[in-house]
Structure 1
Amino acid sequence: MSDSRGLRLQWTPESQAFWFDAGAVCLELLTTGGELSWGYEEFLRTPTDVQEWAKASRVNADELAVDEDGLDELRGLREAVWNVAKAVMASDPPPPRDLARLNERATTSAVPQIDEHQNKHWQKPMTASQFTGTIARDAIELFSGPYADRVRQCEGHCELIFVDTSRPGKRRWCSMQRCGNRAKIREFRDRQRTGTEGGGTR
């Protein structure tokens, strides 16, 4: 589930809901679980799962033709994005195998169309390769662009990855509802404890 601003409703292993904005569709893909990011559940189990996720994603693919091969292709891309993102954040060279997968998938992407009201939409139906290719291109633009050094992992150690596109560039958390709030509570308790300890030594 997502809203018009790119926020997606996420669930913790403890079934707590919070809103998360990855900042890019390629990083949104990492929230779909599997053996990657969260690691406790695979959300893309069937082609229908992909169709539902595609419709709610930033791509907004409301008519996607996808089969089991397309599902496997998207999962493979997810692994490549994860590996490249981790390398970029560590200032390491991305694995050649994963770069090759991004470059290969990016050769096919969704076809934009314009209607009489000058609104952009995608040519329908979008194929699985076009959808995957659109995400691959997004990843290439992100990891080779001006915001590459703003790809970060949440400091709350929840493993969610985002790109900070804000002007200040000081985002630290996946969400203030979750990890940010927990950090604020810890900081408040630390200040209280330090103050109490300090008062006791006077």
Structure 2
Amino acid sequence: MAFAISSGNLALDFVATLGERRDTRTEHLHEGADVAAWLVEAGVLDAAPETDERTLAEAVALREALFAVVEALLDADGDLPRAPLELVNAAAAGPVPEVALRPDRRLARSGSWRAGLSAVARDGLALVDPGDAELKWCADPVCTHPFLDRSRGHRRRWCEMSGCGDRAKAAAYRARRRAQADV
């Protein structure tokens, strides 16, 4: 399964496992094995951890809590929503993946699915102060993926150029062609 891993933050990429929240609500996590696959594809763990009957429910609850926190960071001033923030903080306080340096100079990452989700939650906490990046919503009106804009001048508009950006550019091109044909 290919997940969208492009926002620059694990928590934001995890939030993107539910696409188009405002209309079609495209779900990418259907079972615990999907959560394990996402953790591997996102580079949190090197091998898919064992999952159980709680994996999917806890992962989806964390994802929705992260979305509520991100939405508040982007769209509102003041306090963050209490219940979602408590859930994110609890997940972040859990065990983290074990990291070891291998002889080939690469890092080995291992742990349970809860450890993987703890790493995701910790990345979510880091969004309060993203450093030189700017937290933004994708400019595509259908897309609901937040991302970190690290571009010079913070002019990036889309979560992914290969998806939302390409569609927007193609639509603009078609509109220009129609306008030229009408002249």
TM-score (norm: length of structure 2): 0.81
Matched, 1:59 2:44: yes
Q: What is the SS of the residue equivalent to 1:112?
A: strand
Residues 1:66 and 1:102: Cα distance change in structure 2 (over 3 Å): same
**Cα shift readout 1:21-59 (whole Å, capped 9, x = no counterpart):** 121111111222289477533222212122222211131
User: Match for residue 97 of structure 2?
Assistant: 110
Q: For residue 74 of structure 1, what is the amino acid of its counterpart?
A: A
Alpha-carbon distance, 1:106 to partner: 0.8
**Counterpart-to-counterpart distance in 2, 1:105 and 1:162:** 21
Q: CA deviation at 1:175?
A: 2.8
- Pairs within 5 Å for 1:1-150: 1=1, 8=3, 21-33=6-18, 36=21, 39-92=24-77, 93-108=79-94, 109-123=96-110, 126-146=111-131, 150=134
Amino acid at match of 1:130: A
Superposed CA offset, 1:91-132 (max 9, x none): 433201111111111112212122234432123xx1122111
- The number of aligned residues is 179
Q: Mind listing any 5+ residue stretches in structure 2 that lack a counterpart? A: none
- Identity, in percent, stands at 27
| 3-state SS in 2 of match to 1:113 | strand
Residue 145 of structure 1 and its aligned partner are, at CA, apart by 3.1
Paired with 2:46 and 2:60, the residues of 1 have a C-alpha distance of 17
After TM superposition, the structure 1 stretch with the greater mean CA deviation from structure 2, 136-145 or 173-182, is 173-182
Shift of 1:186: 4.5
List gaps (5 residues or longer) in structure 1.
3-7, 10-19
Q: CA RMSD in A?
A: 2.8
Which structure has the larger Rg? 1
Retained in 2: the 8 A contact 1:24–1:163?
yes
Superposed CA offset, 1:159-202 (max 9, x none): 12211123342110133343323433444425973x788x7xxx
Bigger RCO of structures 1 and 2 (CA < 8 A, at least 6 apart): 2
User: 1:166 maps to what in 2?
Assistant: 151
